[in-house]
A = this chain, B = another copy of it.
Amino acid sequence: MNDQPRLAISLLDIKAAAARLKGHAIRTPLQHSAALDERTQGRILLKPEMLQVSGSFKFRGAFNRLVQIPEADRSRGVVAWSSGNHAQGVAASAARLGIPATIVMPQDAPALKIANTRGYGAKVRLYDRYTDDRDAIGYAIAAETNAVIVPPFDDPHIMAGQGTVGLEMAEDAAAMGLVFDDVLVCCAGGGLSSGVATAIKATTPETRIWTVEPAGFDDTARSFEAGTPVRNSPAARSICDALQSPTPGTLTFPILQAFGAGGLVVSDEEALDAMAYAFQTLKLVVEPGGAVALAAVLSGKLAVEGRTVGVIMSGGNVDRSMYERALARLP
């Protein structure tokens, strides 16, 4: 008898998700920048998921979940709660599959994210991030309408969908004859990082996985240290609107732990500098939460000299005002 807890997903689930996503999600390139390599003295391979449908990786998990809803149940609709990228991923998937969607979003989410979610045809219900209980609002809508709940991260189908990011990275690196020494991935609830870890570790077990979080929302890094999930202070604030989960996921955290992931933390200023660097040098539009893995490399949170390092840029849904704040940091 094996008394280890079974992990929520495996490489097979991710491969099945990849087959479902084919022709729907964009296979984003694994991209290289001579300037970034020169600056870091490492070999940095970027995964630009802002180029994904809906402007972030979240489309992958959402579509993998929604496409598995039986035809007969689709008219019930779906409901999700999200600061914005999962919202857009669910709304875009629902639109493609002809499923009605209701999304519960914080009223201080970037205006672009709210507008895009509505643009995909979803109904948006706003709440106050600091006083309302978004779970309660979401469950109430589900109870009332009988809609299928699409959780942001703690769901095997969502995790497997996000894991296709890692599967593509592993395949593309192998095609280049490379093995990642490190893979850096932003982390809130851990859907993306647990999926990516599963895919990468199944292919090259020697690769080290690093979650990257903004200061104040470093629950995953502190949970690694504590050996058990801990929570962020309700007083914490960050410009990384996409990375503000209170605590690691129940299904995601054991995977990150099992694969020995390490936790890195960057400041909001470092995230803004990475956004500006991506504008000036990489020519990619990245949002604050999507920039933290790049920020960790640029600010030297990890020694990358001489190493082959995968860096996931998870999304680019940023308002003009926040973007101008990043550009203002350019010399």
Contact = CB atoms under 8 A, between A and B. Distances in A.
Interface of A: 26, 28-29, 31-32, 34, 48, 50-51, 53, 55, 92, 112, 279-286, 316, 320, 323-324, 327-328, 330
Which among A29, A280, A327 has the greatest number of chain B C-beta atoms within 10 A? Answer: A280
A53 B285 CA distance: 17
B280 A283 contact: no
B316 A327 contact: no
B50 A283 contact: yes
Contacts of A330: 320
Given A29-B29, A324-B324, A283 B34 contact: no
A234 to B, nearest CB: 32
Nearest to A321: B327
B320 A51 contact: no
A280 B48 CA distance: 15
Contacts of A327: 320, 323-324
B31 A51 contact: yes
Which among A282, A283, A323, A328 has the greatest number of chain B C-beta atoms within 10 A? Answer: A283
A22 to B, nearest CB: 12
14 contacts: A31-B51, A48-B283, A51-B282, A51-B284, A112-B280, A279-B285, A279-B320, A283-B284, A283-B285, A283-B316, A285-B285, A320-B328, A320-B330, A324-B324
Contacts of A26: 31-32
Contacts of A284: 51, 283-285
A167 to B, nearest CB: 17
Nearest to A46: B51
A91 B62 CA distance: 45
Which among A34, A53, A92 has the greatest number of chain B C-beta atoms within 10 A? Answer: A34
Nearest to A26: B32
A35 to B, nearest CB: 8
A56 B125 CA distance: 43
A29 B172 CA distance: 13
B92 A34 contact: yes
A112 to B, nearest CB: 7
Contacts of A112: 280
Given A26-B31, A48-B283, A285-B285, 8 more contacts: A28-B29, A34-B53, A34-B92, A50-B283, A51-B283, A283-B285, A320-B327, A323-B327
Contacts of A48: 283
Contacts of A316: 283
Contacts of A29: 28-29
Contacts of A323: 279, 327
A283 to B, nearest CB: 4
B320 A55 contact: no
Contacts of A320: 279, 327-328, 330
A322 to B, nearest CB: 11
A331 to B, nearest CB: 9
A168 to B, nearest CB: 12
A285 B278 CA distance: 9
Contacts of A31: 26, 51
Closest 3 CB pairs of A and B: A283-B316, A50-B283, A283-B285
